Amino acid sequence: MGKWLIGVDEAGRGPFAGPVTLALFAAPRRLGARLFAGIRDSKKLSASAREAWFTKFKAEPRVFFCSTSVGPHSIDRWGIAKAIRRGIRRMLMRALKKHASLRGGSCETILLDGSLSAPSEYPQKTIIKGDEKVPVIAAASIIAKVRRDRYMVRLAKKYPQYGFEIHKGYGTKLHRERIRKHGLCDAHRRSFCAKYAN
């Protein structure tokens, strides 16, 4: 059995609204160079480019990816750091359950971006700016960003007054103006925007 490269990243750590989304991307080591040619950190790609990469990954049967999201109420309850840790644990358990070939020593080390960490029982390495340096982390960043953005577009249909489809919950000038006008909704992280609360 060949070795797997596994990367983990998140999207949505800092927004005023919506979840933080974690993604895991796994690819056979032998596939890496061909699959990831030209990949970049999701923040340096346009929305259409991210969607194109997502479509490419969906069509590639030799890779595996999954994601999970932690919502605003949990973020307010636990804080963003603990919410992310809980999300990573849940996602890894799900990945290992669904994809048996990732078990039994076939994964060398889980590579995580920035300040992320996995539970201590997993072999891991955190890489500062990993989404810029390590292709499998960049792939995870794309999965997380695409899935979170799609969710925020859907959420905009429920709360059209906030413009979530435009700013994806981040604290832009438009979003702050809409909060001042309409107050907070259930999609907002109250601990992130307390000074705007009614």
CATH number at residue 25: 3.30.420.10
Question: What residues make up the domain containing 107?
Answer: 4-152
> Quick check: 1 pLDDT over 50?
no
> Quick check: 32 pLDDT over 70?
no
What pLDDT score does 121 carry?
Answer: 85
Taking only the tens place, the pLDDT of each residue in 45-84 is: 999 999 999 999 999 998 999 999 999 999 999 999 999 9
Cα gap 188→169, rounded to integer Å: 8
Backbone angles phi, psi at 101, to 5 degrees: -70, -10
Taking only the tens place, the pLDDT of each residue in 107-166 is: 668 999 998 999 988 889 999 999 999 999 999 999 999 999 999 999 999 999 999 999
> Quick check: 37 pLDDT over 50?
yes
**In this structure, is residue 121 part of a structural domain?**
yes
**In this structure, is residue 79 part of a structural domain?**
yes
> Quick check: 30 pLDDT over 90?
no
pLDDT-wise least confident of 35-44, 133-142, 189-198:
189-198
The DSSP result for 152-189, as a single string, is HHHHHHHSGGG-HHHHTT---HHHHHHHHHH---TTB-
Report the helix count and the strand count for the chain, using DSSP H and E.
Answer: 8, 5
What pLDDT score does 118 carry?
Answer: 92
> Quick check: 42 pLDDT over 60?
yes
> Where is pLDDT greater, at 5 or 141?
141
Q: What element of type H or E holds 53?
A: helix 47-58
Work out the burial of residue 126: count CB atoms within 10 Å of its CB; fewer than 13 is exposed, 13-18 middle, 19 or more buried: middle
**In this structure, is residue 19 part of a structural domain?**
yes
pTM of the prediction? 0.93
Taking a C-beta distance cutoff of 8 angstroms, is the pair 118, 85 a contact? no
**In this structure, is residue 68 part of a structural domain?**
yes
> Quick check: 33 pLDDT over 80?
no
Section 82-111 average pLDDT: 81
**In this structure, is residue 138 part of a structural domain?**
yes
**In this structure, is residue 64 part of a structural domain?**
yes
Cα gap 171→129, rounded to integer Å: 23
**In this structure, is residue 175 part of a structural domain?**
no
**In this structure, is residue 15 part of a structural domain?**
yes
Per the structure, the count of domains in the chain is 1
What pLDDT score does 19 carry?
Answer: 98
